[in-house]
A and B are shown apart, each in its own frame.
Chain A
Amino acid sequence: MRQKSFLAAILSLAFVGALVSFYSGGQVPSGQAPLQSLTPQNLTEIKNSFNAAKNDVRVLLLLSPT
């Protein structure tokens, strides 16, 4: 009985940890701007950043997290 409770607690913690990890998002590597969430309201920000670097070569990557 005690073992089952312990296991349930561990699984709950792992589940909460996974939820926090998935929904809070990770940290970008040092030197980069923080991860930005795109919404219809701020979509122009990526466009503006892209155009601000118009004198440079730019690379766009569209990826899935998993």
Chain B
Amino acid sequence: MRIFVVWSPVLMTDWGRPSTATLARVSDARAAQFWDRGRLISHSMGEQNRRGVVWDYIAVYSPGAIWKDRPPEALYHGGPVVRVTDAARAALAQALQETQHSRFQMRLEEGNDAAAGVLRPNRMSESRFHHFVTIQP
């Protein structure tokens, strides 16, 4: 899992970059934090005027989602963050579970392929044997 935290000036009191105490609110080492003074991300997500500012917002993306001109369609998105923590947590748990399941399936398929590779010589020889028996008479 990766976390992207984008701090933007929205309120009257947002005079500058986030302080150490503010940045410490997200202490997870998997997080990358950004200061978006021009609210570029919000603009890319549709901010046209003051009412359209995208902030106090959380989005969960499943594996495979690609950011092109704007962030991709989210598996879950909502806000204000404090009111949607349960829903966001549930979406995150679901996404992580699906990822682990699909990775397990991939490993299982890789395992099956490896097993097939080991067995193939025997199958080949058996096939050749049948072919030999068939053409001999």
For residues 28 through 85 of chain B, which have their beta carbon under 8 Å from a beta carbon of chain A?
29, 31-38, 40-42, 44, 54-67, 71, 74, 81
User: Please, how many residues of chain A have a CB less than 8 angstroms from a CB on the other chain?
Assistant: 39
Q: Considering the chains assembled together, what is the distance between the CA atoms of A30 and B62 in angstroms? A: 27
Q: Which residues of A lie under 8 Å from residue B20 when comparing CB positions?
A: 26-27
Q: Considering the chains assembled together, what is the distance between the CA atoms of A21 and B21 in angstroms? A: 11
Residue B90 is within 8 A (CB to CB) of chain A in the complex: no
Residue B10 is within 8 A (CB to CB) of chain A in the complex: yes
Q: Which residues of B lie under 8 Å from residue A23 when comparing CB positions?
A: 16-17
Q: Closest B residue to A29 by CB, please name it.
A: B27
Given contacts A47-B67, A62-B8, contact A56 B99 (CB under 8 A): yes
Instruction: Kindly state the interface size class of chain B when it binds its partner.
Output: 35 or more
Residue A60 is within 8 A (CB to CB) of chain B in the complex: yes
Total A-B contacts with CB atoms under 8 angstroms apart: 173
Residue A5 is within 8 A (CB to CB) of chain B in the complex: no
Residue A54 is within 8 A (CB to CB) of chain B in the complex: yes
Q: Which of B9, B17, B44, B59 contacts A64 (CB 8 A)?
A: B9
Q: Considering the chains assembled together, what is the distance between the CA atoms of A51 and B27 in angstroms? A: 22
Q: Flag if B35 contacts A36 (CB, 8 Å).
A: yes
Q: Considering the chains assembled together, what is the distance between the CA atoms of A50 and B33 in angstroms? A: 12
Q: Flag if B16 contacts A61 (CB, 8 Å).
A: no
